[in-house]
Amino acid sequence: MRNYRTAFFVTSVSTLLLAGSLVFLWLDPGNALRPTNQTESQPDGRPAAALQSAAVAPVQLSPQRMQSIGVKTGLVKWKSVHDQIRTTGNVEVDETRLSYVQVRFPGWIQKVFADSTYQFVQKGQPLFTIYSPDLVTTEQEYLLARENHALLAQSSVPGVASGAASLLNSTEERLRQWEIPEREILQLEKTGTARRELEIDSPASGYITERNALPNMYAQPGVKLYTLTDLSQVWVYAEVFQNDIGRVKVGDSARVTVDAYPGRIFTGRVSFIWPQVDPATRTVRVRLEFPNRTLALSLGMFVNVSLDIPLGRQLVIPASGVFHSGTRQIAFIDHGNGYIEPRDITTGATTDDEAIVLSGLKAGEHIVTSANFLIDSESQLQAALGSFAPPPPGAGAAASMNAPSSATIDYSSVPNPPHKGPNTFRVKLTSSSGAPIGGAQVTITFFMPAMPAMGMAAMRMASTLSDKGGGVYEGSGELQSGGAWQVTVLATRNGQAIAQKQFSVQAEGGM
Mark whether 204 and 113 lie in a shared domain.
yes
* CA distances from residue 70 to 32, 63, 153, 286, 333 in whole angstroms, order as listed: 53, 11, 104, 46, 16
One domain for residues 442 and 344: no
Which structural domain, as residue segments, surrounds residue 454? Answer: 407-507
Alpha-carbon distance 390 to 61, whole Å?
Answer: 6
CA angle in degrees (0–180, nearest 5) for 210-216-217:
50
- 385 C-beta neighbours (distance < 10 Å), count: 12
**Distance (Å, rounded) from C-alpha 470 to C-alpha 490?**
18
Please report, for residues 344, 456, 496, the alpha-carbon distance to residue 72 in angstroms, rounded to integers and kept in the order given: 19, 31, 17
SS3 67: helix
| Domain total in the chain | 3
CATH code for position 476: 2.60.40.1940
Q: Are residue 355 and residue 421 in the same domain, yes or no?
A: no
Predicted pLDDT at 152: 66
Q: Which of 182, 198, 229 is at the close of a domain?
A: 229
- Position 251, amino acid: G
* Domain match, 365 and 458 both: no
Residue 375 lies in a domain: no
Residue 170 phi, psi (nearest 5)? -70, -40
Residues 166 and 256 in one domain: no
**Which of 198, 229, 260 is the last residue before a domain boundary?**
229
What is the Cα–Cα distance from 134 to 440, expressed in whole angstroms?
A: 108
With beta carbons less than 8 A apart as the criterion, state whether 225 and 213 touch. yes
Specify the pLDDT at position 266.
96
Instruction: Report how far apart the first and last C-alpha atoms of the chain are (Å, whole number).
Output: 72
Which residues is 107 bridged to in the sheet?
Answer: 219
Instruction: List, run by run, the mean pLDDT of 10-residue segments along the chain (511 residues).
Output: 50 56 48 41 42 63 83 91 90 94 93 94 93 89 79 63 74 84 83 87 93 94 93 96 91 94 94 95 96 94 92 90 86 89 88 87 92 77 53 39 64 91 93 88 86 70 91 92 87 85 86 68
Would the CA dihedral through 116, 117, 118, 121 be positive or negative?
positive
Strands 253-257 and 266-278: antiparallel
Question: Do 353 and 304 share a structural domain?
Answer: yes
CA 495 from centroid of its chain's CA atoms: 39
**Which of 400, 107, 85, 421 has its CA nearest to residue 239?**
85
203 with 328, same domain?
no
**pLDDT in the model for residue 188:** 84
Which helix (H) or strand (E) covers residue 49, if one does?
helix 48-53
Long-range contacts for 169-172 (Cβ within 8 Å, ≥24 apart)?
170/145, 171/138, 171/141, 171/142, 171/145, 172/142, 172/145
- Helix, strand, or coil (residue 305): strand
